[in-house]
Structure 1
Amino acid sequence: IVLRSFVEVGQVTYIFLGPYAGKLVTTVDVIDQNVALVGGPCTQVRRQPMPLKCMQLTDFILKFPHSAQQNYRADNTKWAKIEAREGKAKMADFDHFKVMKNNQECN
């Protein structure tokens, strides 16, 4: 199969063959001309190498660094900051005490 478009890091692809058929994944890294490292945490697809023959490329591209870790991408989003703020607001006095004791042990 001759590919007419280039595979980019962060490109959303549709899997049409194999056990994950019908799911969307994101290209994390290009291993070689036939295989790409993909992952789809929202569609329950673990990060794994997958042949390009099983994937159909889409026009959607997500912006994140080359070979980025999931924590790096998730911690820097607005949603993660909002969830952290809400979690802090829900803390009781005993939770604040545990955090204070934990910080004292670290320092």
Structure 2
Amino acid sequence: MPFTRYVEIGRVALINYGPEYGKLVVISDVVDQNRALVDRPDEIRRVVNFKRLVLTDFKIDIPRLAKKSVLTKALEEADVFAKFSNSSWGRKIAKREAKANLTDFERHTALVAKVTRSKKVRTAFNALKKAAKN
């Protein structure tokens, strides 16, 4: 399968470092080979290094240096944020955040559940293994 995630105007990217970590932004313009001008409806337009961006599969159709109203309308029509949160990548990020926000008791409960589940699986597996030998 050929590579399809190109740096282009309208490409949705995820910020992977810094204070905006985990936010989705849209590339409005390419400044040079190392930086892009990114925009988001609720934030100001700014220049971000490509090392801090991870390109997603989503792309919206906007002109170069689109106004906020055009960007907002295109994002709503494409429903990009909802599609990303429903993708496996978005679910993985949400699961990681949920796990990081657990309390001590919730972590203990999860550990006990994991141990119990593993014991049941191991018991069933050993019973099947023993039945296969006979």
What is the TM-score when the length of structure 1 is the normalising length? 0.59
The answer to whether the Cα contact below 8 Å between 1:20 and 1:45 also exists between their aligned partners in 2 is no
Specify every segment of 5 or more residues in structure 2 that has no aligned partner in the other structure, as ranges.
78-134
Structure 1 Cα separation of the partners of residues 9 and 49 of structure 2: 15
Structure 1 residues 25-40: aligned runs within 5 Å: 25-40=25-40
**Alpha-carbon deviation of 1:22?**
0.7
Match of 2:49 among 48, 51, 56: 51
Structure 1 Cα separation of the partners of residues 10 and 58 of structure 2: 8
Structure 1 residues 69 and 14, CA, compared in 2 at 3 Å: closer, same or farther? same
Structure 1 Cα separation of the partners of residues 52 and 46 of structure 2: 13
Provide the aligned C-alpha RMSD in A: 2.7
**Residues 38-87 of structure 1, C-alpha deviations (whole Å, 9 max, x = no match):** 0112xx442100000001001100001111112344579998xxxxxxxx
Structure 1 Cα separation of the partners of residues 76 and 13 of structure 2: 24
Q: Which residue of 2 aligns with 1:66?
A: 64
How many residues align? The count is: 74
Structure 1 residues 69 and 16, CA, compared in 2 at 3 Å: closer, same or farther? same
Give the strand-richer structure, 1 or 2.
1
| Percent identity over paired residues | 38
Specify every segment of 5 or more residues in structure 1 that has no aligned partner in the other structure, as ranges.
80-107
Q: Which has the higher contact order (CA 8 A, sep 6+)?
A: 1
Q: Which residue of 1 aligns with 2:24?
A: 24
Structure 2 Cα separation of the partners of residues 78 and 20 of structure 1: 21
What is the TM-score when the length of structure 2 is the normalising length? 0.48
